Structure 1
Amino acid sequence: MKISTYNVENLFDLKKNGYEYKEYIPYTNSGWNDKAYKAKLKNLSRVIKDIDADIIALQEIESLQALKDLQFQLKRDGLYYQYIKIADAKDTVIKVALLSKIPFVYAKDLVVGYSYAFRDILEVKFKINNENLYLFVNHWKSKAGPESMRIAYAKALKKRVQELGKNKNIIALGDFNSHYEEYKTFKRKRKLNDTDGITGINHILGTINYQQNASNTTHTKENEFYNLWYDTQEEKRYSYIYRGKKEALDNILISASLLDEKGLDYKQNSITSFVKPYLYKGKYIYRWQMSKGKIRKHKAKGYSDHLAVVAEFTTNTN
């Protein structure tokens, strides 16, 4: 079973609702129109079809309509995701969503904060080979905000995990806007470190305690997560490139029961960023292209500023 997460970089529909980013207001001088929208859908479909995950978590989807249009484009291109869901209980500008070949038991929004500064987390429960799997799709606050905002997401997630109880199969994935060792990287940045060195991804979710290969992490504690980035070579741990520097903003975190070699389990050494030549332009990720200038215009070329991250899981009951 292949599970992936992909920040698709601003998939907006062509309906004006008043919340759009300026350059995504449809049918204005920025050129967000039928041509640009169709190109964006077609390009994202190419990537998602090449990944061919059983379940793919998405970030930066504006609406259910945009998600349905992507689903339809994928179907036209030969990959059908029958089951879809978007966290749209709160009308934030962009939202998290899910495409799945596997039916889910339920899907619901997990509220992080009532302010529109916080996007909801999407909680989805699956039943696979008579085992429950809980998947949480995240898109935490960007580095435009301090660490305390990302800690709010981590605390909401941890609280829900504690409510679910012990020994559950849990995957938390998405764009955490956090390095797998954020506690090291953000200390030098005063505007980010407003928490006395405490981070959401490392301290609240407990990933700081398990910085080794997956084969050595069976002692992961209750309500703490293992970050799958530790299960591949350090030079491969990235999904984003900022000013020439590779960063790991997108993460897949798993609970201890997915490492116990019983039933549903993580397939060791399977974590990877999804790298294809067409997703690069020189040394940089071939993001969605816009012109520079006073009015930024869509060129109807490119993909996303993030790479997808993919991991595999076995569903053997032996």
Structure 2
Amino acid sequence: MSIIKLSISILFFGLIWTANAQEKKFKIHTVAFYNLENLFDTINDPNKFDEFSPMMELKTNRSAIYKKKVKNMARVIADIGADIANNAPAIIGVSEVENREVLEDVVNDSLLLEKDYGIVHYNSPDTRGIDVALLFQKKIFTPTHTSSHALKIYDDTGKQRVYTRDQLLVTGNLDGDVIHVIVNHWPSRRGGEARSRPKRVAAAKLSKHLIDSVQAINPYAKIFIMGDLNDNPTNESVKGILKAKKDRKKVGLKGIYNPFEGFYKKGLGSNAYRDTWSLFDQILMTKPLLEKDYSSFRFYKAGIFNKNYLINNRGQYKGYPKRSFSNGTFTDGFSDHFPVYVYIIKEVAD
């Protein structure tokens, strides 16, 4: 946690400096999301198809490679937001994790151990055995309610269920504020974007149901909706179902703001495929996080965490995220996705 000084003109009207701007002090935290790209252990689970994971497909040195993969994940998590918040994320949603044990290895790494991260994780019915989870610094965030919500979708015949990731809902107290976090990893585009679109629309409807259920209790609830959506900010799932807005001024009381749509329209992304950038990783939020009363935490700004060490600097995939696995080998990389983050701030007394 860090205290920063901001001028009111910067905070309210963008990067505009005025001589008469009143400087105030703010507490700042980072809220983030990261697809950890196949963070699997080296043990074959007979109840999962984990033998097809990149980790299990390695022919040699699995144990050493697993330890390096864990270290790489811890390095990135420790670094997200640290430039401004002087701390690792207060909370971070993650996806593509096999089980709770791999997360325990990450949070117990020497780079994160002093942060004392807690874990919220449920086993999903996903065929590949991958889940979502939430990591949180115990000194900053205290969960008060957690639940896992199944996404029931079916194949093209409408008869065979497709088992995919559950959605995670966590409510808790973040440094004095009650917040809610929905962590997602929506169905992939396997088979083509159009053909697989109904599955992500269904995922968006489940997320919307969870949002509505929270807002039915408290219309002013502060909700973050985060994840690897496998859709861009302009796709039907995000724009049509969640009705996420690019312009924060147009967000109504129970509306949703998507700060990542602006990045996407500038050509920025969190993952790349066939020389095309996508921004599948997003953090959306509800209206109460946009208010200008900074007596409680409000949204400050968003970003894509794409430092140089996370970028492939040579070869066919130069400029892409430096992924961990490629062609059956470990590259000593990180993930095929960049993390995304938002800063939230609250005014503090002098």
Name the TM-score, length of structure 1 as normaliser: 0.83
Structure-2 residue corresponding to 1:87: 122
Query: Secondary structure of the equivalent of 1:6?
Result: strand
* Residue ranges of structure 1 left out of the alignment (5+ in a row): 183-198
| Structure 1 counterpart of 2:104, from 52, 63, 68 | 68
Q: Percent identity?
A: 25
What is the 5 A alignment of 1:17-96? Answer: 17-18=45-46, 19-24=48-53, 30-31=59-60, 33-51=62-80, 52-73=88-109, 75-76=110-111, 79-88=114-123, 90=125, 92=127, 93-96=129-132
Cα distance in 2 between the residues matched to 1:244 and 1:33:
31
CA RMSD after TM alignment:
2.4
Name the TM-score, length of structure 2 as normaliser: 0.75
**Comparing both structures, which one devotes a greater share of its residues to strand?**
2
Structure-2 residue corresponding to 1:313: 344
Cα distance in 2 between the residues matched to 1:79 and 1:176:
31
Deviation at 1:231, TM superposition (A): 5.4
For the pair shown, the structure with the greater C-alpha radius of gyration is 2
Q: Does the aligned pair in 1 maintain the 2:75–2:111 contact within 8 Å?
A: no
| Structure 1 counterpart of 2:210, from 138, 160, 179 | 160
| Structure 2 counterpart of 1:16, from 15, 26, 44 | 44
Structure-2 residue corresponding to 1:121: 167
Deviation at 1:32, TM superposition (A): 6.8
Deviation at 1:34, TM superposition (A): 0.1
What is the 5 A alignment of 1:102-181? Answer: 102-113=141-152, 115-128=161-174, 130-144=176-190, 146-164=196-214, 165=216, 166-181=219-234
Deviation at 1:235, TM superposition (A): 3.1
Q: 1:201 to 1:234 in 2, by over 3 A?
A: closer
* Residue ranges of structure 2 left out of the alignment (5+ in a row): 1-28, 81-87, 154-160, 314-318
What is the 5 A alignment of 1:153-302? Answer: 153-164=203-214, 165=216, 166-182=219-235, 199-207=236-244, 210-212=245-247, 214=248, 216-217=249-250, 219-222=251-254, 224-230=255-261, 234-235=265-266, 237-262=268-293, 263-267=296-300, 270-282=301-313, 283-291=319-327, 296=328, 298-299=329-330, 301-302=332-333
Q: Does the aligned pair in 2 maintain the 1:16–1:26 contact within 8 Å?
A: no
Q: Deviations over 1:262-287 (max 9, x none)?
A: 322111xx211101111111222111
Cα distance in 2 between the residues matched to 1:315 and 1:126:
17
Cα distance in 2 between the residues matched to 1:220 and 1:78:
41
Q: 1:32 to 1:180 in 2, by over 3 A?
A: farther
Q: 1:32 to 1:305 in 2, by over 3 A?
A: farther
Q: Does the aligned pair in 1 maintain the 2:270–2:337 contact within 8 Å?
A: yes
Q: Deviations over 1:243-295 (max 9, x none)?
A: 2222101111101111122322111xx2111011111112221111333xxxx
Corresponding residue pairs, total: 288
